[in-house]
Amino acid sequence: MTTREVAAQGAEVKRAAVALGQASDEQRRNVLLRVADRFEEVLDDLVAVNVLDLDAYDETGPGRDRLLLTKERVLSMASALREIATRPIRSSRCSTKALGPTGCTSNGCACRWALSASCTKTDPT
């Protein structure tokens, strides 16, 4: 990719992040599920392109392994996305001042995992 293509792709990602931030919980879940489906649909292509990328990678060691995509790893990522989609969605309305026994409870928020940018409690207990 050229620098211009990378910059354009980065701008698209920023626009998508804003849209996803404004999406409903159901829309967010649908995105996670769709990405999981796409991982499986393009599994062989992802692994093949990753082989080409790794062939061009000069380093050895743990950095290389972290970049390696195998079929098992891609399927595991798809499974993780599906599992995340079943969890309660975090709310940006949470505040650390309003943590209840199951997470945040401020402003009508009931995000069990309390994973908003302003919350620090990450334990669901």
Domain shared by 60 and 106, yes or no = no
Q: How many domains does the chain have?
A: 2
| Alpha-carbon span 97 to 106, nearest angstrom | 8
What pLDDT shows up at residue 108?
Answer: 46
Domain shared by 77 and 115, yes or no = no
Domain shared by 22 and 65, yes or no = yes
**Contact indicator for 73, 50 with CB cutoff of 8 Å:** no
Note down the domain range covering 107: 89-125
Average pLDDT for consecutive 10-residue bins of the chain (125 residues)? 90 89 88 96 96 87 87 97 86 49 48 46 44
